[in-house]
């Protein structure tokens, strides 16, 4: 069994996700975009009619435990009725709820009954639960600043805090001396304390290192230079002249710290409400008869927004209910991420193939060219 389509930016599997998961390596994905059945009972769409939504999703969420990296994220799409059923499942598996995204499509669907007969508000939105997995922070956030750091100091796996504390205590100085060295009031508690911990910035790290070396007892290596970052017995004078090993130490700490965090890069002027019309025009994939290929197509720019915000360059993205495989197209557009999309319907994969840069349009069954026409 191998991918139906494979490029340098995407693998498209023609299969059920539960068949493909065992073939994927552990801890290989930084992001999951899950857009499976909503159980809306769409007329003529048997795939969307699910007797037990939680039972359907549970084996998938279980597999994500193995497939996702420690600092991974999930966007779990659903309806205002279906998503609340799945939310407890995500929490049981250790995913930390961050926010609820609302896709506001901007206009109500055509009403099939008169105003007098209507018994509910017309629905013109979809939702996505945004979850992260941060090994060093298992408590609920209290605000934007606590997205990762706060409570990490309480976790025994956070060796960085322990090492920072040990380095400062070796000087014999007090924490208020650290604040004095940095010109702050109480900031040292964020670096050494178990509550509201965070990693010092480079500038703060230099201030702490200078104060430690100036006032601490002499020893074989400079303070705040981590043994794994160097092979040294250099003097502080050499260290201060070049900053090479001190900088290497801080980068060593920062790399370890960032590896435990779910990446997040907030797009400018955005909130959790995404206002974007439903897919239409050239972006809407059609079947051979000119009808809509898939009833629930997502805008490519929304998929790209999720990938940009919640992955680093070089990351892999999993789309277990591929549909028209927007993650694959988005990764081709970005050029520095890779997608694995899994879909059971051959027609959907054939329609998206021409949208991938390394696949021409002549072999697509539907003839649909997607977002780009081959030159």
The predicted model gives 66-94 an average pLDDT of 94
d(CA 158, CA 103): 37
Residue 326, pLDDT above cutoff 50:
yes
No. of helices (H) and no. of strands (E), the chain: 12, 9
Are 262 and 73 in contact by the 8 Å Cβ rule? The answer is: yes
**What does the pLDDT read at residue 256?**
84
Which residues are 125's β-sheet partners? 104
Q: Is pLDDT at 230 greater than 60 in this prediction?
A: no
Over residues 23-40, the pLDDT tens digits come to 999 999 999 999 998 876
Q: How far apart are the C-alpha atoms of 181 and 341, rounded to whole Å?
A: 52
- Summarize pLDDT for 178-221 with one digit per residue, the tens: 999 999 999 999 999 988 888 999 999 999 999 998 999 988 77
**Does pLDDT of 278 surpass 50?**
yes
Query: To the nearest whole percent, how much of the chain has pLDDT over 90?
Result: 49
Question: Which of 303, 305, 358 lies closest to 326, judged by CA?
Answer: 303
Question: Which band of pLDDT confidence, cut at 50, 70 and 90, is reported for residue 373?
Answer: very low
Sorted by sequence, the CB contacts under 8 Å of residue 270 that are 6+ apart come out as: 305
Q: What is the pLDDT of residue 271?
A: 95
Of 24-28, 148-152, 262-266, highest mean pLDDT: 24-28
CB contact set of 106 (below 8 Å; sequence gap of 6+): 124, 275, 276, 277
Q: What pTM, to 2 d.p., does this model score?
A: 0.79
Query: Which range (81-90, 195-204, 287-296) has the least confidence?
Result: 287-296
Residues 300-321: pLDDT tens digits? 899 999 999 999 999 999 999 9
Rounded distance between C-alpha atoms, residue 232 and residue 279, angstroms? 59
Does 17 score more than 90 pLDDT?
yes
- For residue 187, what are the CA distances in angstroms to 82, 116, 158, 179, 278? 44, 62, 19, 6, 47
Report residue 290's pLDDT band, with 50, 70 and 90 as the boundaries: low
Task: Output the pLDDT for position 296.
Answer: 74
Q: Average pLDDT, stretch 229-251? A: 63
Dist. CA 33–CA 319, nearest whole Å: 5
Asked if pLDDT for residue 371 goes beyond 50, the answer is no
Buried b (16+ CB within 10 A) or exposed e, 162-175: eebbebbeebebeb
Cα 162 off chain centre by: 28
Predicted pLDDT of residue 274: 95
pLDDT of 243 > 70? The answer is: no
Quickly list DSSP for 4-58. Answer: SEE-SSEEEEES-HHHHGGGSPTT-EEEEEE--------TT-GGG--S-HHHHHH
Name residue 330's beta-bridge partners.
Answer: none
Q: How many residues does the chain have?
A: 375
Q: How far apart are CA 148 and CA 138, in angstroms?
A: 9
Question: What pLDDT was estimated at residue 229?
Answer: 62
Highest mean pLDDT among 84-93, 142-151, 230-239: 84-93
Residue 239 pLDDT > 90, yes or no? no
Instruction: Assess contact for 87 and 74: CB atoms under 8 A.
Output: no
């Amino acid at each position: 069994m191998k991918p139906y389509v494979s490029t340098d930016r995407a693998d498209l599997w023609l299969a059920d996700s539960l068949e493909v998961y065992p073939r994927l390596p552990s801890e290989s994905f930084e992001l999951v975009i899950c857009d499976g059945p909503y159980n809306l009972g769409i007329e003529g769409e048997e795939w969307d009619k699910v007797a037990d939504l939680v039972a359907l999703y549970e084996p998938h969420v279980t597999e994500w435990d193995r497939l996702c990296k420690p600092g991974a994220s999930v966007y779990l799409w659903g309806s205002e009725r279906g998503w609340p059923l799945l939310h407890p499942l995500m929490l049981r598996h250790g995913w930390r709820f961050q926010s609820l995204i609302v896709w506001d499509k901007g206009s109500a669907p055509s009403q099939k009954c008169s105003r007098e007969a209507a018994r509910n508000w017309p629905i013109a939105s979809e939702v996505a639960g945004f979850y992260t997995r941060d090994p060093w922070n298992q408590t609920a956030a209290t605000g934007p600043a606590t997205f990762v750091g706060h409570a990490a100091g309480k976790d025994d796996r956070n060796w960085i805090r322990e090492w920072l504390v040990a380095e400062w205590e070796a000087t014999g100085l007090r924490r208020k001396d650290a604040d004095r060295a940095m010109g702050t009031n109480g900031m040292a508690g964020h670096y050494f304390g178990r509550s509201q911990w965070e990693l010092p910035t480079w500038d703060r790290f230099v201030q702490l290192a200078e104060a430690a070396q100036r006032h601490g007892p002499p020893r074989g290596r400079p303070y705040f230079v981590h043994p794994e970052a160097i092979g040294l017995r250099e003097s502080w004078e050499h260290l201060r002249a070049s900053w090479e090993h001190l900088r290497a130490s801080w980068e060593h700490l920062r790399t370890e710290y960032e590896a435990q965090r779910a990446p997040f890069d907030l797009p400018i002027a955005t909130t959790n409400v995404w206002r974007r019309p439903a897919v239409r025009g050239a972006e809407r994939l059609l079947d051979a008869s000119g009808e809509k290929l898939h009833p629930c197509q997502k805008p490519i720019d929304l998929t790209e927004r999720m990938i940009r915000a919640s992955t680093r360059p070089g990351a892999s993205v999993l789309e277990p209910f591929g549909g028209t495989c927007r993650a694959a197209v988005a990764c081709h557009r970005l050029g520095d991420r890779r997608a694995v999309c899994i879909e059971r319907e051959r027609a959907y994969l054939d329609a998206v193939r021409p949208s991938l840069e390394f696949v021409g349009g002549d072999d697509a069954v539907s003839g649909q060219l997607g977002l780009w026409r081959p030159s």
